[in-house]
């Protein structure tokens, strides 16, 4: 008699078929242990997250597409620094791809009809590839400015070398994204009140070999590029400060050097945005690789900072490049005049 009452006590306390869950942390932990399921969040993605990701996607596609088209138009018009423009165009492609792949991942990675092993591997691998390519291309942009500013007479980067740098960046990033293509898979997780829910996540037993793999990938695609970019840009700034008062600098200041300094300023600004937005993301990845628990809010902030970095190109060029604004005016003003005449 006593045994039957004892066995019925937990069942009276916890109803595993209910969609109402305890409020206190202790009771929630006991509920999950008793029902052998995970209490789901109120929603997989909050309304703020959904709106923000779609807004950043729209800004990134519109802004980066504008940068690509206007820079191509400037190259056709015979503007100098074709290598830099080609690098910035490919950086825009990578940044735009980051926002696109993040939104695709957001749509198919949790409880979707498209959540399957091939889709999980493809989307996660391509997302990491585009993120890594963006950081590698920032390094390439900094290298181009380094040789143009610090060693202008010793080495020049032409279009052929630029294409090789771009191809190397994509292949390098793809190579270090192989762990994501391999380790990410579809996992069915039992959530209380929902049953089995399909998720795209890492499916492995964490051990030293896996930790080393993740740390190697993180170092190669984020930590090393960040340190390299910072060091290169420090050398560029030092050279500019040293040349500020020289006769040679004053001689060319009216046209060439003013324009060159403007390009360097844009590169420094893009680099600063990249470093500020990438450090939280790299820290989040480092903690994850070391199997340290991370609050969900930290993960959200880290990813959205990377999305903000992916929208920076258009704003930086719009505010700090007079040539870019001039070409935008030449592109849009005639079309706006036609529209005004139509509505008169």
167: which 2 tokens? 């191809």
Q: Which DSSP category does 246 fall into?
A: -
Nearest-angstrom CA–CA distance, 198 and 188: 5
State residue 330's pLDDT score. Answer: 79
The full DSSP string for 64-91 is HHHHHHHHHHHHHTT-S-HHHHHHHHHH
Residue pLDDT, tens place only, 291-306 = 777 887 888 888 888 8
Residue pLDDT, tens place only, 146-181 = 888 888 777 778 888 899 999 999 999 999 888 888
State residue 1's pLDDT score. Answer: 44
Q: How many CB atoms lie within 10 A of CB 35?
A: 19
**Span of 37-51, 235-249, 275-289 with lowest mean pLDDT:** 235-249
**Span of 55-69, 108-122, 125-139, 248-262 with lowest mean pLDDT:** 248-262
Nearest-angstrom CA–CA distance, 199 and 184: 10
Percent of the chain with pLDDT over 70: 79
Please give the backbone phi and psi of residue 196, each rounded to the nearest 5 degrees, phi first.
-75, 130
pLDDT at 125 over 60: yes
Nearest-angstrom CA–CA distance, 97 and 103: 10
Nearest-angstrom CA–CA distance, 3 and 186: 42
Helix axes 312-320, 322-342, angle to 10 degrees: 90
The full DSSP string for 282-313 is HHHHHHHHTT----HHHHHHHHHHHHHHHTHH
Nearest-angstrom CA–CA distance, 95 and 306: 9
State residue 2's pLDDT score. Answer: 45
State residue 276's pLDDT score. Answer: 86
68-69-70-75 Cα dihedral, nearest 10 degrees: 90
State residue 169's pLDDT score. Answer: 94
Would you place residue 252 in the very low, low, confident or very high pLDDT band (cuts 50, 70, 90)? very low
Residue pLDDT, tens place only, 202-248 = 776 555 567 777 788 888 888 888 899 889 888 888 887 776 655 44
Nearest-angstrom CA–CA distance, 205 and 212: 13
Nearest-angstrom CA–CA distance, 292 and 299: 12
Please give the backbone phi and psi of residue 184, each rounded to the nearest 5 degrees, phi first.
-75, 135
Nearest-angstrom CA–CA distance, 107 and 103: 6
State residue 269's pLDDT score. Answer: 83
Q: How many CB atoms lie within 10 A of CB 4?
A: 8
pLDDT at 10 over 50: no
């Amino acid at each position: 008699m006593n045994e039957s009452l004892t066995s019925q006590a937990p069942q009276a306390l916890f109803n595993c078929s209910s969609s109402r869950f305890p409020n206190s942390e202790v009771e929630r932990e006991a509920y999950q242990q008793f029902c052998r399921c995970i209490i789901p969040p109120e929603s997989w993605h909050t309304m703020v997250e959904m709106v923000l990701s779609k807004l950043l996607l729209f800004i990134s596609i519109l802004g980066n597409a504008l940068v690509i088209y206007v820079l191509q138009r400037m190259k056709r018009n015979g503007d100098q620094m074709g290598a830099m423009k080609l690098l910035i165009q490919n950086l825009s492609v990578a940044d735009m791809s980051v926002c696109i792949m993040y939104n695709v991942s957001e749509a198919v990675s949790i409880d979707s009809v498209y959540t399957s092993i091939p889709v999980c591997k493809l989307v996660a691998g391509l997302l990491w590839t585009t993120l890594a390519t963006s950081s590698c291309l920032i390094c390439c942009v900094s290298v181009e400015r380094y040789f143009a500013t610090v060693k202008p007479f010793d080495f020049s980067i032409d279009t052929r070398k630029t294409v090789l740098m771009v191809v190397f960046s994509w292949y390098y990033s793809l190579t270090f994204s192989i762990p994501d293509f391999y380790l990410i898979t579809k996992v069915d997780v039992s959530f209380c009140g929902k049953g089995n829910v399909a998720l795209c996540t890492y499916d492995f037993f964490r051990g030293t070999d896996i930790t080393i793999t993740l740390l190697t990938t993180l170092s190669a695609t984020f930590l090393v590029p960040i340190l390299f970019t910072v060091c290169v840009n420090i050398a560029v700034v030092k050279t500019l400060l040293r040349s500020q008062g020289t006769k040679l600098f004053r001689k060319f200041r009216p046209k060439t050097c003013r324009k060159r300094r403007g390009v360097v300023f844009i590169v420094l600004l893009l680099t600063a945005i990249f470093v500020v937005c990438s450090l939280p993301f790299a820290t989040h990845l480092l903690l994850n690789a070391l199997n340290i628990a991370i609050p969900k809010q930290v993960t959200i902030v880290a990813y959205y900072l990377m999305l903000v970095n992916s929208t920076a190109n258009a704003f930086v060029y719009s505010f700090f490049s007079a040539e870019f604004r001039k070409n935008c005016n030449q592109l849009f003003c005639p079309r706006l005049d036609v529209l005004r005449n139509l509505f008169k």
